[in-house]
Amino acid sequence: MLESLRRIVQEVNAAGELEAVLEIIVSRVRTAMGTAVCSVYLYDAVLDRYVFRATEGLNSDLIGQAGLAVGEGLVGKVAKREEPINLDDAEAHPDYRHLPGLGEERFRGFLGVPIIHQRKVLGVLVVQEAERRRFTESDEAFLITMSAQLAGVIAHAEATGAMGSGTDALRTATFHGVSGAPGIAMGDAVVVMPLADLSAVPSRRCDDPDSEIVAFQRSLAAVRSDIKSLAKNMESQLRREEHALFDVYLSMLDDQALGQEVVDLIRGGEWAQGAIAQVMREHARTFEQLEDVYLRERAVDIKDLGRRVLAHLQQAVEVEREYPENTILVGEELTASMLAEVPEDRLVGMVSVRGSSNSHVAIMARALGLPTVVGAQDLPFIRLDNQSVIVDGYVGQVICNPSADLCQQYERQLEEETRVSRGLDALRDLPCESSDGHRVPLLVNTGLMSEVGRSLDQGAEGVGLYRTEIPFLLRDRFPSEEEQRLIYREQLQAFHPKPVTMRTLDIGGDKALPYFPITEENPFLGWRGIRITLDHPEIFLSQVRAMMKASVGLDNLRIMLPMISNILELEEALELIYRAHEELLEDGLELSLPPIGVMVEVPAAVYQAQEMARRVDFLSVGSNDLTQYLLAVDRNNSRVAGLYNSFHPAVLRAMLSVVKGAHAEGKPVSVCGEMAGDPGAAVLLLAMGYDMLSMSAYNLPRVKAVIRQIHSDDAIALLKTVLRLDNVRHIQESVEEFLVERGISRHLRPLLAV
């Protein structure tokens, strides 16, 4: 059973178009279960019915015609109850509804299971038998498993189909994800892909097939010669059978048919990379479906060959990539380096299929003020290249090929946004204080040099979190101590005399350095942040020395330690910093020891906030990780993004307990996670007594505008109310209501995902 399940899912996955997906499902499930009938009904939102979409065994003339309303007939009942129905005699059931012409009357045994994707019933999968019998428990389990595995593929194929295809005029289609960075962007999609990844190559039209064919043939020749020399170099080390593999490769490359298929596609208007990816994927799929295990394994070779040709093609065109004026960067998983490749003045928005609102790409997007949607799982991104797209970063949706009406609607929203932003400019030099004069300095989170100007323009009172890993991420090796000193000096100088809080290297989790790969089962609970740098004191010492040297004569440096989970780690890190400081004094540099702080971002540190505060000069709460660890919700996983919420009562109580711990030792405490940049959450943090808030430059004026309109007594009353509430939805509603009552614009209201 497991094997046939695996094969069906694999075949369906490869089918692409919805019609093909459904046909494969009904045919293969019928064979695997040995039933007389298998059919699929899918929900049509316009008709509000479950429409008969595919069958083997019933009258296929009625495909697309017949259907049942929600709750109507057995199919409607399966959908409504979200449960299987297993009957030995369907017709005898009181809910049975006869659909004329379908030919069901010949069949008695009935088993229907719902097809559910992300809590939504997409449709119903039905098998039927002529004889009067109940399906066995194992049949039922098989069909449920099948349906659960196929739901995602069906949802994806439906979403893709919604856009139209091939030569049809493209239709407006909306895809949902979560907000990565607020704002609206309208522009043209540029799909970016990791190098040599056959599954990520977008389909793109080419204007000059002849030169694409030449490029393809050049790459083919290059791979042929690579393989020949590889085979030659390894001649002595390989056994005969292994050597034969190289011959297989070479014969595949010589195979006219395969090359010819690629050339035909290019002549049909597809670019060379798209053509090679399509042909290789298709051939690999054929091999994967073969019964013979040896032949099935050859799919791996085909993919490898495809990747090699693709890599050569990509190297040849790397420099030619052009970005339109209003580029919307789209990719399966966007990375900081993909973002860095687009000229800054051309990039207006981003869409990532993977990730969630607290992934680092989203944090960078917020820092850069780029409207972004992440976790748009059903987006057929490889077909989006060059298409017109609207990114609605407020609600987390992407609209492809928007109609003229929709464009006008969004243009009006953009105007309103610009009006609000202009109003915010006037606040630049005003202090951030409540209407009764309670001051809360607002600082910025930075990482890129390009953010500095924007931060100062927004009236930042310093840097509350400088993510030092970002310059590390954009290189191909660890920067030297002197290189680091120069980078840090630039930051310190730009903000001088305002304070700059530099966090020591925080890699691991979802932040992998290309030149220092870490492979772990569970990276967020693994080798991260301070754990890595304590294991590599040479990296830590050189970094803190570079920071301190950079601050000579400026004295505005603060050092902050990420991911501290116990006192021993903290003491070890402090020892290393004291040692680095002494070494520098011995070298004759004149500098005082900078203030040192701990990031509270692990639940253990919440419970030891006071003991930690006693040993350092300040605390800063990393609410992004703290929320992730308190709620056991991976901040990067779009499947559970709905559960990630910093308004959760447990998070609010933890935040309150950290302030108490720090203040009991007379030490200041700030928040530098995204929570601080949410205008609604900032009101609660002010009421809790946080001394400073640090956020993206984009959010800073928004938070200031809100705080300046609030009386601190009202903020305290709101905090008291929400601390009595036991669920996140009610808390968020109370905060929203509080802001609405005070006439605070929609553009300034909470941004954190629900």
Binding mask 599-618 for Mg ion (x = CB under 5 A): --x-----------------
For residues 115 and 26, what is the distance between their CA atoms, to the nearest angstrom? 13
Minimum CB separation of residue 503 from Mg ion in Å reads 9
Which of Mg ion, ligand PEP, none is residue 393 near (CB under 5 to 8 Å by kind)?
none
Minimum CB separation of residue 495 from Mg ion in Å reads 22
DSSP-derived 3-state class of residue 212: helix
| Closest alpha carbon to 674 in 753, 575, 579, 585 | 753
Candidate residues 212, 261, 625, 714; the one interacting with ligand PEP per rule CB under 6 A: 625
Minimum CB separation of residue 365 from Mg ion in Å reads 17
For residues 730 and 649, what is the distance between their CA atoms, to the nearest angstrom? 10
Which range binds Mg ion by CB under 5 A, 142-150, 575-583, 598-606, 697-705?
A: 598-606
Are 355 and 636 within 8 A, CB to CB? yes
Which of Mg ion, ligand PEP, none is residue 388 near (CB under 5 to 8 Å by kind)?
none
Among the residues of 446-589, which ranges form H helices?
Answer: 450-457, 469-473, 481-495, 530-535, 537-550, 567-586
Are 307 and 169 within 8 A, CB to CB? no
Candidate residues 624, 638, 646, 670; the one interacting with ligand PEP per rule CB under 6 A: 624
Which range binds ligand PEP by CB under 6 A, 158-166, 179-187, 622-630, 727-735?
A: 622-630
Minimum CB separation of residue 598 from Mg ion in Å reads 12
Candidate residues 288, 385, 601, 634; the one interacting with ligand PEP per rule CB under 6 A: 601
Residues binding Mg ion: number (CB under 5 A): 3
Choose, from 156, 360, 581, 648, the residue flagged as catalytic.
360
Minimum CB separation of residue 468 from Mg ion in Å reads 13
Candidate residues 177, 393, 479, 622; the one interacting with ligand PEP per rule CB under 6 A: 622
CB-nearer residue toward ligand PEP: 527 or 578: 527
Minimum CB separation of residue 674 from ligand PEP in Å reads 7
Are 151 and 114 within 8 A, CB to CB? no
Which range binds ligand PEP by CB under 6 A, 116-124, 248-256, 471-479, 616-624?
A: 616-624
Site for ligand PEP in 354-373 (CB under 6 A): 363
Q: Which two tokens stand for residue 603?
A: 């639940």
Number of residues that make up the chain: 754
Which range binds ligand PEP by CB under 6 A, 14-22, 314-322, 623-631, 735-743?
A: 623-631
Are 472 and 513 within 8 A, CB to CB? yes
CB atoms near residue 236 (< 10 Å): 6
Q: Which two tokens stand for residue 243?
A: 């050597």
What is the torsion angle, in degrees rounded to the nearest 10, for the CA atoms of residue 658, residue 660, residue 665 and residue 668?
70
Candidate residues 625, 634, 674, 714; the one interacting with Mg ion per rule CB under 5 A: 625
Which of Mg ion, ligand PEP, none is residue 333 near (CB under 5 to 8 Å by kind)?
none
Long-range contacts for 515-523 (Cβ within 8 Å, ≥24 apart)? Answer: 515/475, 515/476, 515/477, 515/478, 516/478
Q: Does 622 bind Mg ion (CB under 5 A)?
A: yes
Binding mask 655-694 for ligand PEP (x = CB under 6 A): -----------------xx---------------------
Which range binds Mg ion by CB under 5 A, 15-23, 399-407, 625-633, 732-740?
A: 625-633
For residues 202 and 363, what is the distance between their CA atoms, to the nearest angstrom? 26
Minimum CB separation of residue 506 from ligand PEP in Å reads 6
Binding mask 460-499 for ligand PEP (x = CB under 6 A): -----x-x--------------------------------
Choose, from 38, 400, 432, 672, the residue flagged as catalytic.
672
Sheet containing 109-117: order of strands: 67-69, 49-56, 37-44, 120-129, 109-117, 85-87
Minimum CB separation of residue 283 from ligand PEP in Å reads 43
Are 308 and 238 within 8 A, CB to CB? no
Which of ligand PEP, Mg ion, none is residue 467 near (CB under 5 to 8 Å by kind)?
ligand PEP
For residues 676 and 682, what is the distance between their CA atoms, to the nearest angstrom? 5
DSSP-derived 3-state class of residue 369: coil
Which of Mg ion, ligand PEP, none is residue 392 near (CB under 5 to 8 Å by kind)?
none
CB burial readout 400-431, b (16+ within 10 A) else e: bbbeeeeeeebeebbeebeebeeebeebeeee
Which of Mg ion, ligand PEP, none is residue 465 near (CB under 5 to 8 Å by kind)?
ligand PEP
| Closest alpha carbon to 211 in 302, 320, 303 | 320
CB-nearer residue toward ligand PEP: 203 or 624: 624
CB contact set of 27 (below 8 Å; sequence gap of 6+): 38, 56
Q: Which residue has the tokens 């097809």?
A: 115
Site for ligand PEP in 502-531 (CB under 6 A): 506
Minimum CB separation of residue 355 from ligand PEP in Å reads 13
Q: In the structure, how many helices (H) and strands (E) does the chain have?
A: 26, 22
Q: Which two tokens stand for residue 386?
A: 């060059």
CB-nearer residue toward ligand PEP: 173 or 655: 655
CB-nearer residue toward Mg ion: 377 or 628: 628
DSSP-derived 3-state class of residue 163: coil
Residues binding ligand PEP: number (CB under 6 A): 11
Are 571 and 614 within 8 A, CB to CB? no
Does residue 312 have an active-site annotation? no
Minimum CB separation of residue 524 from ligand PEP in Å reads 10
CB-nearer residue toward Mg ion: 451 or 625: 625
Which range binds Mg ion by CB under 5 A, 100-108, 296-304, 569-577, 594-602?
A: 594-602
Sheet containing 184-191: order of strands: 173-176, 397-400, 388-392, 184-191, 327-331, 347-352, 372-374, 178-181
Does residue 438 have an active-site annotation? no
Which of ligand PEP, Mg ion, none is residue 160 near (CB under 5 to 8 Å by kind)?
none
Minimum CB separation of residue 599 from ligand PEP in Å reads 7
Positions in the binding site for ligand PEP (CB under 6 A): 363, 465, 467, 506, 601, 622-625, 672-673
Positions in the binding site for Mg ion (CB under 5 A): 601, 622, 625
- Residues serving a catalytic function are 360, 672
